[in-house]
């Protein structure tokens, strides 16, 4: 989740294996429940991945828009209930069906919560159910930088009430990253004919995020890591 506005800056190159150059449209959700600047940060990730980002509200997630899109990106948010209700159950079902038919979905923090079996920790609000398991509140509400092992590399990454993932025994995806205690922090998973990339920490975070939260400066992977993650998921067929 994210609350302050944070323009993106170029930082370190991504650490994931290279994937083919992308082409197509990324629908970046920018409606209720998305925090200030978070959709713009996600759009920068799409641009760096070679996609054309299009910031959309709920009406931009209808059938015609989905048919022309390569990926849906839901980034950081400040209210999961508002995020869920703003998109609406009908559109959430459409998104899940679209992914199952071959679409791609990227969820960063709030977007990763939304991808789970349920959106809230009590389990009362259904999510997109895009992977075998669920997301749960892992890191504290206060923003911080913590060490995450991403593809075997220890990285310092920005978190704010970030989710971890509790996976079913039949989970068939790939765990891309772990928190320090071993909890899964990022996933790549197939959903039907489509593919999903989820991250609890914010791989797109820049130095501005730290300054906005009065955190001491330190190197962050930056949006190129998130762009590599996005390229990786949309290259899967």
The per-residue pLDDT for range 129-149, each reduced to its tens digit, is 999 999 999 999 999 999 999
List of long-range contacts for 174-179, beta carbons under 8 Å, 24+ apart: 176/150, 176/151, 176/229, 177/148, 177/149, 177/150, 177/151, 177/201, 178/148, 178/149, 179/138, 179/139, 179/146, 179/148
In a domain, 14, yes or no: no
- pLDDT value of position 45: 98
Domain coverage including residue 95: 25-234
In a domain, 9, yes or no: no
Q: Which backbone phi and psi does 116 adopt, to 5 degrees? A: -75, 180
- Find the Cα–Cα–Cα–Cα dihedral 149, 151, 131, 83, rounded to 10°: 60
- pLDDT value of position 124: 81
**CA–CA separation, 170 and 167 (whole Å):** 8
CATH number of the domain to which 158 belongs = 3.40.50.880
- pLDDT value of position 16: 36
**CA–CA separation, 214 and 123 (whole Å):** 33
How many domains, in total, are found in the chain? Answer: 1
Q: What digits encode the pLDDT tens for the residues 187-228?
A: 999 999 999 999 999 999 999 999 999 999 999 999 999 999
Three-class SS of residue 162? coil
In a domain, 54, yes or no: yes
In a domain, 37, yes or no: yes
In a domain, 11, yes or no: no
pTM summary value: 0.90
Number of CB atoms found within 10 A of residue 68's CB: 10
In a domain, 12, yes or no: no
Q: What digits encode the pLDDT tens for the residues 77-134?
A: 999 999 999 999 999 999 999 999 999 999 999 999 999 999 877 778 899 999 999 9
Whether residue 22 has pLDDT greater than 90: no
- pLDDT value of position 23: 64
In a domain, 195, yes or no: yes
- Find the Cα–Cα–Cα–Cα dihedral 160, 166, 172, 174, rounded to 10°: 30
In a domain, 19, yes or no: no
- pLDDT value of position 12: 32
Whether residue 4 has pLDDT greater than 80: no
Closest to 83 measured CA to CA, from 108, 56, 114, 59: 114
């Amino acid at each position: 989740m994210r609350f302050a506005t944070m323009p993106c800056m170029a930082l370190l190159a991504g650490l994931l294996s290279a994937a083919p150059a992308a082409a197509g449209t990324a629908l970046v959700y920018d409606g209720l429940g998305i925090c200030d600047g978070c959709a713009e940060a996600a759009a920068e990730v799409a641009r760096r991945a070679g996609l054309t980002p299009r910031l959309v509200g709920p009406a931009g997630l209808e059938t015609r828009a989905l048919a022309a899109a390569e990926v849906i990106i839901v980034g950081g948010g400040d209210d999961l209930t508002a995020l869920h209700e703003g998109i609406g159950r009908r559109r959430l079902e459409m998104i899940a069906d679209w992914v199952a038919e071959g679409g791609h979905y990227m969820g960063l923090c709030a977007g990763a919560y939304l991808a789970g079996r349920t959106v809230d920790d009590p389990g009362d609000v259904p999510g997109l159910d895009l992977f075998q398991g669920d997301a749960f509140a892992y890191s504290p509400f206060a923003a911080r930088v913590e060490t995450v092992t991403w593809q075997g590399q220890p990285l310092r990454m920005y978190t704010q009430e970030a989710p971890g993932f509790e996976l079913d025994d039949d989970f068939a995806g790939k765990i891309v990253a772990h928190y320090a205690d071993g909890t899964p922090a990022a996933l790549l998973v197939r959903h039907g004919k489509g593919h999903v990339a989820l991250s609890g920490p914010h791989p797109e975070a820049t130095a501005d995020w730290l300054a906005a939260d009065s955190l001491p400066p330190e190197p962050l992977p930056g949006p190129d890591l998130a762009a590599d993650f996005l390229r990786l998921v949309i290259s899967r067929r």
